[in-house]
Structure 1
Amino acid sequence: MFEELELDDALCRGVAEMGYTQPTSIQAMVIPDAMEGFDILASAPTGTGKTAAYILPVAQYLLDHPKRINGSARALVLVPTRELAIQVAEQANKIIKFAGLRCDVITGGINYGTDKAIFEQKPDILVATPGRLFEHIEKESFDCRDIESLVLDEADRMLDMGFSAVVNQIAAEARWRKQSMLFSATLEGRGVRTFAQELLNEPKEFNASPSRKEKAKTLQWFHLCDDLAHKDALLEHHLQHSIESCIVFIKTRERLHALKDKLMNKYGLVYLQGEMPQDKRNAALAKFKSGEAKILLATDVAARGIDVPNVSHVINYDMPRGADVYVHRIGRTGRAGAKGTAISLIEAHDYIWVGKIERYTGESFKARVVDGLRPKHKAPKLVKKSKPKNKAKRKKSKDTSKKRSKK
């Protein structure tokens, strides 16, 4: 129970209204030490409640230590994307609804007049994307000296997007903070570890594996496609059958628009892509979340950070650039223990991803067929690179020949 974590009644009430009674594994791990004031370094899969894992202790600190002066935000949450910023702020405001606290968002794509109004309202918690916030710091329209808690969410994604230098500069501006927390999908790799060493002070480290109840229950398979026309036919077959809420991933904006033009008159759909005005992005997500549009076409800008309840299907119309991106894509369905389905439409030139995904996930990735839409061609054979044999012998003979030539 959340009450057992010694959280304020107002915060427990907010969480209860959201429908949660038991903390998830990452929440149970992080919250006690975070409330003690320790820096936190944590890894948790998507959909396991990590937003509440940092918002609850941050909010508890703000309640325990009321601000004495009417200054800037006292808690700062940095996230890599606009969509994630909006989502985190929405969840935070639900959690702190009865606590007399306020959370606001600063991201790119919004006019600066809106940002000014937000700063004037002096929110307790500010959720921001690094680039836009640093612009305000340089213009001296935001002061980091009041920041007491700094949270980095999806730190691995921020590194991928090239934000490390900007985040370090923001952290330096907020050097009087009392606590820092870093959350990442993975703690593997030198990049995240270096990031953590620069920003955290003797952190408590947590690597949360979700419980069986929290684990995504996602059924995965692929269809082998002969060509683009076959791929389109398979896509439409699934869109017409048992799709309650579906995200279709496409690799480029050009291919997204081509597919949108094919499907727009047949289905209620919206789309997300890079370099899209923020108001249009927000409107598309709102329609999808409300169920007004059951299909969302998206490039990988939407692969991380979008938390839409009850997405029944993810369809990979195009395969992603890496197995890790595949995992993040299919993580949009089967969230928080719900059942989900992930279908990939694979042409011959993408067949190499079958083996890569199996190795990365440690799970079988099998083909299925649809009656009437069976592929005419067999799956291509994957040619394994042969390892050079008798390497030591060849080296020895090479060394021997060198000695002979010297003689």
Structure 2
Amino acid sequence: MTAIKRQAAKSFNEIGLDHRLQRALGKRGFSTPTPVQTECIPRTLEGKDVVARARTGSGKTLAYLLPAINKVLLTEDDVKGSFKVIVLVPTRELCEQVKNEATATAELCGGEIKATALIAEGSQQLKRAIAGAGQIVVSTPSKIAAALREGLLTSAMLTSRLKMLILDEADLLLSYGYEEDLQLIAPQIPRSCQCMLMSATMSEDVEKLQKLVLHNPVALNLLNCADPTSKKGDLAAGLGVAAEVTHFAYNCSREDKLLSVMTILKLGLVRKKALIFVNNVDNGFRLKLFLESFGVKSALLNAELPLNSRSHILQTFNKGLFDYLIATDDVHAASHDQSKSSKKGGGKKGKDLKRGGAKKDEEFGVTRGIDFKGVRTIINFDLPSSVQGYVHRAGRTGRAGESGSTVTLFTPEDADFQELLATALGPNKDASKPAAASGLAADEEPTSSGRGDEDDDEGKAKAEEEVLKPFKRLTKVQLEAMRYRGEDIARSITKNVIKDARAKELKLELLNSDRLKDYFEEHAAEKQLLRHDKALHRKAPPVHLKHVPAYLKDASTVADRGVSKTGHRGKGFLPGAKRRNIERSKDPLKAGGFIKAPKKGLGEEEHTEAELKAMAIGKREAKRKAKEDHTAFVPKANVRKGYKRQRN
């Protein structure tokens, strides 16, 4: 595969697209193609088969959808009917996303171009979906193979209609168990059909697919294309993850994982929105219940939920209705712990089968290809099974040039994987990206002091730092301050509590998905009222846990008050009246480091002796200062009784 040097950025008007498609892109606000699109689209428009390797978040979806829509527009009069373009992806979540992206562009082209996602279950539903399919069909290989086996889609139909076949996230299609389906589909593809294969990583599976469906393809290595200053061995060039992503490691014991994540989120030590990855459903519910006890709202996304619920959770998270989403890794992605246990000849597979549980969707996946909007932080509560899995998780942030960060929790047992990951990421040799290297916020810029060679030497030293940096915002002192509360709550979340929570969540989501499906089709606006971050505890947790007193906060802990692109405003933003009241109440005592705890959320919690003394001294100082300034007190008028009440 040949590495491609980045060319000068062109406009969409200069790369040969149909004028209707250019107009549609202009209406969507797209004026300049990404480097990946600049390289892929012209070669595809020439009719060549293309194999492209590009990092996550670099615009791969439009890089193949634009040539596909262009081909449909040009063959609109020659070939009638559906299945002109087939896009094969590994998961049903990705089917919905690609279909929505194609529809958003095709609707503005002026023609009657329709995109369809084949995600139906059951032969009858699949039959109806095939009958109403549009020119662009997005599907998993299993649905197309099922249609071929049942005769709903024939070889003659594909020969006469199919003009382009696209395999997105190709490195995962075989690992998801689609090998037999692809071997059934490949002989049905006409030789005149143009093929594209897109992937973030290269593997033997990609080479198998390339030999299976492509003919003399043009191979493009576009990892360096997104950054003209990247060099061989850089992070973006080596693994396929964005150079704008900063990587952090936090070492703790296995028992402290819950406490660590809660403290990070509660004190605002990372930027919103945050996506938290766990390896199984039980860990997801345990983390959700633990965060819920401390007033941190989150939603849980897993393979046991109905497809409608999963799609709605993704939509509401992208719109910023909640800031924290806990996601289980894909059903085909074994966890790091499971991979270690399988090497020992054991594992939990048999135990899980005996225990039973809700059926998981085999085509579920959120770490691969899903375009999360405004995600600034990835937290790996559980480790992925491989470095490749880490790349796909980290690829959910730092998309389209935005900055992002990943925080991975490592236990002493994970030392080998931590060393492997640090070696794979390698040293940061790109000194031209200080913001990415130092983990600055998106709105922060480095300043120069004009010290000449001294700064150059410091810059070189920083550039040689490891990319996997320690997460220093959460100090050991701060973690110990929260331990007393955290351990009590952690002990209360037993297996039976998790079992009840799973049953309650599944019951709620099934109700949202099935019984209300027809209603929400007619009342789409009211669907927004559905919330996926509701409490799952049978009893409401103690109110005082939602408040973190000032004496539990480490003075060296610095919260990140950044605002996510589509999420809620951070706690640093206050209404004007409240901000003025705070300014008026300032006094020298509070400047010394002690801040009076807010009354909201205290419940039955009593003030400590130190707090009572500080409050009394503060009142005396306020009265003395008022006398010195000779400020006259303005009495409050009682309108109802017509007299003025003098305050003491």
Q: If the TM-score is normalised by the length of the shorter chain, which range does it land in?
A: 0.7 to 0.9
Aligned-partner Cα distance in 1 for 2:136–2:219: 24
Residues 1:207 and 1:311: Cα distance change in structure 2 (over 3 Å): same
| Higher relative strand content | 1
- Residues 127 and 348 of structure 1: is their aligned pair in 2 closer, same or farther, counting only changes over 3 Å? same
- 2:47 pairs with one of 27, 34, 37: 37
SS of the counterpart of 1:315?
strand
* Shift of residue 130, structure 1, vs aligned partner: 0.8
- The answer for the alignment partner of 1:161 in structure 2 is 176
In 1, are the aligned partners of 2:36 and 2:60 still within 8 Å (CA)?
A: yes
Cα distance, 1:222 vs structure 2: 1.4
Q: 1:315 aligns with which of 373, 379, 389?
A: 379
Deviations 1:160-189, CA, capped at 9 Å, x for gaps: 1121231131122222542111111123x3
Q: Residue in 2 aligned with 1:398?
A: none
Q: Is the 8 A contact 2:81 2:135 kept in 1?
A: no
For residue 174 of structure 1, the aligned residue among 167, 189, 201 is 189
Does the CA-based 8 Å contact 1:223-1:367 persist in structure 2? Answer: yes
1:106 aligns with 2:118: yes
Conserved 8 A contact 1:268-1:292: no
Q: Secondary structure at the match of 2:172?
A: helix
Determine which of 147, 151, 157 is the counterpart of 2:162.
Answer: 147
Residue of structure 1 aligned with 2:248, choices 221, 246, 263:
221
Deviations 1:98-136 (A, max 9, x none): 22211110125x455554443333401000011122112
- Report the CA distance between 1:366 and its aligned residue: 2.4
Give me the whole-angstrom Cα distance separating, in 1, the residues matched to 2:200 and 2:373: 19
- What SS does the aligned partner of 2:72 have? helix
CA displacement at 1:95 relative to structure 2: 2.1
Query: Can you list the C-alpha shifts for 1:70-118, whole angstroms capped at 9, x where unaligned?
Result: 433110000001111111111111222222211110125x455554443
Deviations 1:283-307 (A, max 9, x none): 2112211111211111222211210
Residue 58 of structure 2 contacts residue 226 of structure 2 at CA under 8 Å; is this kept in 1?
Answer: no
2:140: which partner in 1? Answer: 129
Please list every run of 5 or more consecutive structure 2 residues that lacks an aligned counterpart in the other structure.
1-10, 229-235, 237-241, 331-365, 428-465, 482-648
Is the 8 Å Cα contact of residues 86 and 139 (structure 2) preserved in structure 1?
yes
* Structure 1 segment 1-400 matched on structure 2, within 5 A: 1-68=11-78, 70-99=80-109, 100=111, 101-107=113-119, 110=121, 114-143=125-154, 144-145=158-159, 146-187=161-202, 189-209=203-223, 210-212=225-227, 215-228=242-255, 230-240=256-266, 241=268, 242-264=270-292, 266-301=295-330, 302-363=366-427, 364=466, 365-369=468-472, 370-371=474-475, 372-373=477-478
Higher deviation after alignment, 64-73 or 166-175 = 64-73
Q: Is this contact kept in 2: 1:148–1:176, CA < 8 A? A: no
- SS in structure 2 at match of 1:333: coil
Alpha-carbon distance in 2 for matches of 1:73, 1:194? 24
Name the aligned partner's letter for residue 218 of structure 1: V
**Computing the radius of gyration over CA atoms, which structure comes out larger, 1 or 2?**
2
Cα distance per residue 1:316-353 (max 9 Å; x no partner): 01111111111111111111110111111111112222
- Measured on the aligned residues, the alpha-carbon RMSD in Å equals 2.2
Residues 78 and 177 (structure 1 numbering): CA distance in 2 closer, same or farther, change over 3 Å? farther
1:27 is matched by which residue type in structure 2?
Q
Cα distance in 2 for partners of 1:153, 1:5 equals 22
Matched AA of 1:16: G
1:200-221: CA deviation from partner (whole Å, max 9, x where unpaired): 1111111102423994411211
Which residue type is aligned with residue 225 of structure 1? Answer: C
Q: Evaluate the alpha carbon distance shift between residue 227 and residue 120 of structure 1 in structure 2; reply closer, same or farther with a 3 A threshold.
A: closer
* Alpha-carbon separation, structure 1, partners of 2:140 and 2:152: 16
CA change 1:226–1:194 in 2 (3 A) is closer
Q: How many Å apart are 1:356 and its aligned residue?
A: 0.8
> Quick one: distance in 2 between partners of 1:295 and 1:309?
13
Distance 1:131 1:275, change over 3 A: farther
Quote how far apart the aligned CAs of 1:243 are.
3.7
CA 1:291–1:44 in structure 2 vs 1: closer, same or farther (change >3 Å)?
Answer: same
Q: Report the Cα distance in structure 1 between the residues aligned to 2:48 and 2:143, rounded to whole angstroms.
A: 28
Task: For 2:287 and 2:100, locate their aligned partners in 1 and report how far apart those are by CA, in whole Å.
Answer: 31
Q: Which runs of 4+ in 1 moved over 6 A?
A: none
TM-score norm. by structure 1 comes to 0.86
Distance 1:26 1:304 in 2: 18
Are the equivalent residues in 2 in contact too, given 1:250–1:298 (CA < 8 A)? Answer: yes
CA–CA distance in structure 1, aligned partners of residues 192 and 17 of structure 2:
22
Q: Distance in 2 between matches of 1:149 and 1:244?
A: 40
Counterpart residue type for residue 198 of structure 1 = L
Contact 2:27 2:108 in 1 (8 A): no
CA distance in 2, matches of 1:293, 1:49: 26
In structure 1, runs of 5+ residues without a counterpart are 377-407
